[in-house]
């Protein structure tokens, strides 16, 4: 089993419900956010105000954060969830500087790094992550990459997204469709 996010950008309306559900569930300080919603650039999708990516930690198969942490604050669970043990973190920010996806964030109040935990405690209880349940359009889903239940059009590296195949990030994307103009076939 390898848990990951499947994000359908064709369903996302940019409401940021997923980000707020994460922030509320984890009781993050105002300066911290573990999930971000970004509008797609115009060179990727013609209507910037209508297409988005919802991003957080990608729970890579070979996480660079784990490799660069001098205190062993990161671990990789057998189910693919990259864990961060905040009490072990010394706040050196090696993970913040090294992650090409910007997942670990430095908490200036607590003086340590933080990141998405895929709500492992909810998953362990048979529930969905807070961001998934907070998505009103069902654009965000939890999937098992080892079950091959992904739609065939799901991609790992959409256009404009940083490609680091050696890390093997878990998040998969369903791309938005370019809208047809009225009256055209």
Q: What digits encode the pLDDT tens for the residues 138-173?
A: 999 999 999 877 899 999 998 878 899 999 999 999
Q: Is residue 183 part of a domain?
A: no
Q: Please report whether residue 184 resides in a domain.
A: no
Q: Which of 31-45, 130-144, 166-180 has the highest mean pLDDT?
A: 130-144
Question: So what's the pLDDT on residue 175?
Answer: 86
User: Per the domain annotation, does 84 fall within a domain?
Assistant: yes
**117: helix, strand or coil:** coil
User: Domain count of the chain?
Assistant: 1
Measure CA of the first residue to CA of the last residue in the chain; give whole Å: 43
CB-count burial class (<10 Å; 0-12, 13-18, 19+) for 166: exposed
Kindly state the percentage of the chain with pLDDT values over 70.
Answer: 90
Instruction: Name the residue with tokens 């911290």.
Output: 32
Is there a domain that residue 180 lies in? Answer: no
Question: Is 34 within the bounds of a domain?
Answer: yes
User: For strand 112-114 and strand 105-107, is the pairing parallel, antiparallel, or unpaired?
Assistant: antiparallel
State the CATH number of the domain containing residue 129. 3.30.70.20
Domain membership flag for residue 154? yes
pLDDT at 49: 58
Residues contacting 125, CB < 8 A, separation 6+ = none
Residue 169 belongs to a domain: yes
Q: How many Å apart are CA 97 and CA 88, to the nearest integer? A: 18
Range(s) of the domain holding residue 133: 3-174
106: three-class secondary structure by DSSP: strand
Give 49-97 as a DSSP string: GG-EEEE-----SS-HHHHH-TT--EEE-TTS-EEE-GGG-----HHHH
């Amino acid at each position: 089993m390898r848990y990951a996010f499947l994000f359908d950008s064709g369903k996302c309306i940019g409401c940021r419900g997923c980000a707020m559900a994460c922030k509320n569930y984890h009781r993050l300080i105002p300066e911290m956010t573990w999930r971000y919603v970004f509008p797609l650039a115009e060179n990727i999708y013609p209507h910037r105000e209508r297409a988005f990516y919802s991003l957080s930690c990608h729970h890579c198969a070979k996480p660079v954060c784990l490799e660069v942490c001098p205190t062993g604050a990161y671990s990789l669970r057998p189910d693919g969830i990259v864990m961060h043990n905040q009490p072990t973190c010394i706040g050196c920010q090696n993970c913040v500087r090294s992650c090409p996806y910007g997942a670990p964030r430095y908490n200036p109040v607590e003086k340590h790094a933080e990141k998405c935990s895929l709500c492992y405690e909810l998953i362990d209880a048979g529930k969905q992550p807070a961001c998934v349940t907070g998505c009103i359009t069902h654009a965000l889903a939890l999937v098992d990459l080892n079950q091959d239940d992904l739609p065939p059009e799901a991609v790992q590296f959409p256009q404009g997204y940083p490609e680091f195949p050696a890390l093997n990030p878990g998040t998969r994307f369903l791309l938005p469709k370019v809208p047809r103009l009225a009256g055209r076939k």
